[in-house]
Copies of this chain bind each other. A is one copy, B any other.
Amino acid sequence: MSTKWIYFFGNGQTDGQAGNRNLVGGKGANLAEMVELNIPVPAGFTITTEVCNEFYNNNQQWPAGLREQLQENLVKVEEAMGAKFGDTNNPLLLSVRSGARVSMPGMMDTVLNLGLNDRTVQGLIAKSNNPRFGWDSYRRFIQMYADVVMGVEHQLFEAVLTGMREKRGVESDSDLTAEDLQQVVEQYKAIVVDSAGKMFPDDPMEQLEGAINAVFLSWNNPRAIRYRQMNDIPGDWGTAVNVQAMVFGNMGPNSGTGVAFTRNPSTGENEFYGEYLMDAQGEDVVAGIRTPQPISTLAETKPHIYQQLVDIYKLLESHYKDMQDIEFTIQEDKLYMLQTRSGKRTAAAAVKIAVDMYKEGLIDKKTAVMRVDPKQLDQLLHKTIDPQAKLDVIGRGLPASPGAAVGRLVFFAEDAEEWASREEPVILVRSETSPEDIGGMDAAVGILTSRGGMTSHAAVVARGMGKCCVAGCTDAHINEEKKILTINGHQFQEGDWITLNGTTGEVIAGQVDLIEPELTGDFGTLMGWADEIRRLEIRTNADTPHDSQVARDFGAEGIGLCRTEHMFFDAERINIVRKMILAPDQAGREAALAQLLPMQRSDFIEIFRTMKGLPVTVRLLDPPLHEFLPHHDLQELAQSMSISVERLETIVDDLRELNPMLGHRGVRLGVTYPEIYAMQARAIFEATAELAKEGQTVIPEIMIPLVGVLPELELMKKVCVNVAQQVQEETGIRFEYKIGTMIEVPRACIVADRIAQEADFFSFGTNDLTQMTFGYSRDDAGNFLPIYIEQGVLEKDPFQTLDQLGVGEFVKIGVERGRSTKPQLKIGICGEHGGDPDSIDFFHRVGLDYVSCSPFRVPVARLAAAQAQIRSEQ
C-alpha cells in the first residue's frame, strides 16, 4: 500500500486525523475534529506535514502517489459540496492554507478563490446572480495568487486599482462597477505577463499545484524561519496544506455570515453573544459599512439555523471545555462553521468563566487556574479609563505602573504635597524622580516622567505604591523654571488637567472618566484555588505600614524587601541624615544616628504590628550617601549645619560618583561606616523587643545588600549579632532573628557556597543582577533598549522579564552553590521580576522558596506561582 499523503474531511466523515496535529497540523486536526462532531464544515482535505518534508528532501518534487491522491480527494470534495472544480456552470472554488503543528499566525501563505478563470467566473456570476461579486472575486484571486505564487509585486496591482478609481472619480473600491472590475482583471493579467514573463495560469489544476507548492515554500521564508527561531520550533516539523471548499455568505438574502462567542467575552456571562450580516462576506462585517445584527435576532428570522448554531456552540464548548470564538457562513440557507478557537476575553470575563465552568463541572480547579492570564489581572486591581470615553491622546511613554489617573499638573514634589493637602488631585511631572521626590509622589495620583525606563526610580516607586505612572515619555519637554510642559506641540501649565494611562503609557489631555476596580467574589474564589495549589511563598516589597496593609489585603505572606532608605527622606529626618553624612568623624555620625534611632524604631514597630507575625525582611541602607544631599541651594543647608558653603560644596563634590550604581553603596557603606548599620540593627531589635512586650513574636530578618565577598557579610553579621546581644541584655527579652544577604552582584552567585556559610537566607536582587550581568544601567538603557528590542537583538526588556539564559543562569548557579553549603537554605527573590509571571515560572523551576513583589502585583504572583506549579506537574 502506498503512503497516505492526504486526509479528507467533510460530510461527517474524516480519514481519522482528528487531533493528530503532528501529521496534519493544528488547523487540519481542528477541522477534522469539528467534522467528527458532526458539525457542518465546508469539505476539504489536508496534505500532511510529511509531504512538506518529502518536498524539501526531494528537490522540491512531489512524492509518488500524491498527484493521484489529490485527484481522488478533489472528487470527494466535489461530491460533498455538490459543485465541480473548473466547471463553467457550477464551479467549486477552493482555499489553500498552511497549517503547522503550532499556530504561526501570518507567517506563511494563503490563496483564496482558487479555481477561477475567464470561464468559471461566469458560473460564479450565474450562481450568485451578482456580476460585481464574480469579477471582484476573480481580480482578488489574481492579485493574491500572482503575489504569493508568481512573485509579482503587490504594488503593481494597487496602482491599477487606484488608476481605475481616479478614472471613475470614486473614492472606494466598493464604488467600482462589475464592468470596471472586469477591466481591472484584464489589466491584471497584462501585468502578470509583463512582470512574471508568463501568462496567468488558466487551468484550475495548475493553479492548485502552484498554490500548494507556494505554501510549502513559505515554510522557509525568512520571516517564518525567524519566528521559529524565536519560538524554538524545529525546522523539520514542516507545514501541512489545507485545501477546502470556499463558501459564500453573499449569495443573496438566504446567505449570510457572522462571528460569535459562546459566552460574553467582556463580562463572562453565560450567554450566546455575537453578530451577523445577511448577504455579506466576512470582510463586510469588518469594514463597518453595514451594521451587523445581534445574534439573538437570528432566532426570529432564521429560527432553524439559529437553533442549529446554538446546538453547535454548546457542543463545541462542552467539547473544548472553554469559551469559543466561532465564525460561520450561511450559504443559501445552509450553515457552515468556518472556525472555532478559544475566545479572547477581558480579565473579568476570564475569572468569571473559569469559576463558572468549574461550578458547571466542565473543568477542574487546576484547569480553571490555568485559564486566567496573570498579566491580565492588573486590569482588575486598578482604576481604568472608561472604554466609552473619547480620548485626546497627545503623547506616549512607557507603561511604567498600571492604572489610570486624572489630576492637575504640578512640577515639583513640594507643590504636589501642598496641592494635595488642599484635596486637589495632582499629577506630578518630572524629567526623572529622585528619592527626594518621595513625598510628592506619595501625594500625587499619578506620575509622569520624560526620562528613565521601566525600572527607573519613578517606575519602581510608583509600582510599589500601586500608583499610575507613565515614564520615559521622551516627547515631553519640561521647563521647570516657567512650569510649562510641552508634548508634541501641546502646552500645559501648572494646574492644567491631564489624564495618564499607566497600563498603555498614554498621556491624555484633560479630564477623562475612570472606572473603579471591582474585586468580585469570583476573583477571591480563583485566588483561593491558586493558594491551594502553589508551592512558592508570595511576599511583598513594602516600606510603610500602609503598603504593608495593602499587600496583606492582597494576600502577601510576609515582607520580602523593606527598604530602609525611604524612611530617611521624611521631612523631619532628612536634615538629621545630612548632619550624619556631613559629620567630620565617627562621633559626629553616631550623635546624628542616635537622633534617628527612635524614628527608625517606630517605623519598624508599626510595620511589625501591621504584619502580625508574618516574616519581615529588612534591608539595611543601600543607596550612596550622595542621594541624601541636595543638588542645589547649598546655602541653606550650609547655614543650618554651621559650615561654609565652600566646605559643603567640597563634601558634596567628594561624594559625587561617576557611576553611583557601581559606587560606595550597600554593604560598602556598612563596612566603612559600621555605626549606620549598627543603628539600624538596633532599631529593628528594639522594635522586636517592643512587640514581644505586646505579646507578639517577631523573627526579624536582616538583609545585607550588595555582598560580593564573604568577609563583608562576616563583618556586618558581627555588628548585628553584637547589637542583638546588647538589646537582649538591656531589655531582658530573648528573641530570634535571621541575618541574610541579597545576591545581586554576579560575583556573589559564583561564590555563593562561601557566602552561604554565614547567611541564614539569600534573596536575589535581580534588578541589580540584571544591570551588572548585561552591563546595562537601567536609568540609561532607554537610549538603546527600545532599538535592541525593535531589531530583535533582545526579545524582551530584561528588566521586565528575567533573562533566563544569562541572569537566570546566575540565579541557578547561586541556588546550586548556596545549597551545596546549606541544603535547606531559604532563598527568595525581591527584584521587580518577582511580579512577572514568566519570571515567576522560572523561579519556581529553579527551586526558590518565595518571590517578593510590589503590593499590587501580589495577586498576579499568587496566580502565576500556582500556574508554575501546575505546569511543572505536567
Residues of A in contact with B (beta carbons under 8 Å apart): 657-664, 668, 671-672, 706, 708-709, 711-712, 715, 744-747, 750-751, 768, 771-777, 779-781, 783-784, 787-788, 791-794, 803, 805-807, 809-810
Residues of B within 8 A of A663 (CB): 777, 780-781, 783
- Residue of B715, B750, B784, B793 near A664 (CB, 8 A) is B784
- Residue of B658, B745, B793, B810 near A750 (CB, 8 A) is B810
Residues of B within 8 A of A706 (CB): 775
- In the complex, how many angstroms separate the beta carbon of A814 from the nearest chain B beta carbon? 12
Q: Evaluate contact between B779 and A810: CB separation under 8 angstroms.
A: no
- In the complex, how many angstroms separate the beta carbon of A469 from the nearest chain B beta carbon? 19
Closest to A457 in B: B658
Residues of B within 8 A of A715 (CB): 791, 793
Known: A664-B780, A664-B784, A775-B706. A806 touches B750 (CB 8 A): yes
Residues of B within 8 A of A662 (CB): 659, 661-662, 771-772, 775-777, 780
Residues of B within 8 A of A747 (CB): 773-775, 803, 806-807
Total copies of this chain within the assembly: 2
- Residue of B751, B777, B787, B805 near A659 (CB, 8 A) is B777
The distance in angstroms between the C-alpha atoms of A781 and B672, with both chains bound, is 12
Q: Evaluate contact between A768 and B775: CB separation under 8 angstroms.
A: yes
Q: Evaluate contact between A664 and B783: CB separation under 8 angstroms.
A: yes
Residues of B within 8 A of A744 (CB): 775
- In the complex, how many angstroms separate the beta carbon of A216 from the nearest chain B beta carbon? 27
Closest to A808 in B: B750
Residues of B within 8 A of A793 (CB): 671, 709, 711-712, 715
The distance in angstroms between the C-alpha atoms of A661 and B803, with both chains bound, is 21
25 A/B residue pairs, CB under 8 Å, sorted by A: A659-B659, A661-B662, A661-B777, A662-B775, A662-B780, A663-B780, A663-B781, A663-B783, A668-B788, A672-B783, A706-B775, A708-B773, A708-B775, A709-B806, A712-B793, A715-B791, A715-B793, A747-B773, A747-B774, A747-B775, A747-B806, A750-B773, A750-B806, A750-B810, A772-B772
- Residue of B658, B746, B783 near A772 (CB, 8 A) is B746
Residues of B within 8 A of A659 (CB): 659-662, 777, 779-780
Q: 5 closest Cβ contacts across the A-B interface? A: A662-B777, A659-B777, A747-B806, A745-B775, A663-B780
Residues of B within 8 A of A709 (CB): 793-794, 806
Q: Evaluate contact between A658 and B779: CB separation under 8 angstroms.
A: yes
Residues of B within 8 A of A775 (CB): 661-662, 706, 708, 744-747, 768, 772
Residues of B within 8 A of A661 (CB): 658-659, 662, 775, 777
The distance in angstroms between the C-alpha atoms of A672 and B772, with both chains bound, is 21
Known: A662-B776, A745-B773, A779-B659. A671 touches B708 (CB 8 A): no
Residues of B within 8 A of A771 (CB): 662
- In the complex, how many angstroms separate the beta carbon of A785 from the nearest chain B beta carbon? 9
Residues of B within 8 A of A787 (CB): 671-672
- Residue of B671, B773, B780, B788 near A658 (CB, 8 A) is B780
- In the complex, how many angstroms separate the beta carbon of A231 from the nearest chain B beta carbon? 15
* Residue in A750, A775, A777 with the greatest tally of chain B CB atoms within 10 Å: A775
The distance in angstroms between the C-alpha atoms of A792 and B750, with both chains bound, is 20
- In the complex, how many angstroms separate the beta carbon of A164 from the nearest chain B beta carbon? 37
Residues of B within 8 A of A779 (CB): 657-659
Q: Evaluate contact between B750 and A809: CB separation under 8 angstroms.
A: yes
- Residue of B660, B745, B751, B774 near A745 (CB, 8 A) is B774
The distance in angstroms between the C-alpha atoms of A661 and B805, with both chains bound, is 23
The distance in angstroms between the C-alpha atoms of A366 and B664, with both chains bound, is 45
Residues of B within 8 A of A783 (CB): 657, 663-664, 672
Residues of B within 8 A of A774 (CB): 708, 745, 747
- In the complex, how many angstroms separate the beta carbon of A650 from the nearest chain B beta carbon? 9
- In the complex, how many angstroms separate the beta carbon of A139 from the nearest chain B beta carbon? 39
The distance in angstroms between the C-alpha atoms of A664 and B772, with both chains bound, is 14
The distance in angstroms between the C-alpha atoms of A746 and B773, with both chains bound, is 5
Closest to A663 in B: B780
Q: Evaluate contact between A777 and B658: CB separation under 8 angstroms.
A: yes
- Given contact pairs A662-B775, A671-B793, a sample of 8 additional A-B residue pairs in the complex whose CB atoms are under 8 Å apart: A658-B661, A659-B662, A661-B662, A663-B777, A708-B806, A711-B793, A746-B746, A750-B810
Residues of B within 8 A of A784 (CB): 664, 668, 671-672
The distance in angstroms between the C-alpha atoms of A137 and B791, with both chains bound, is 83
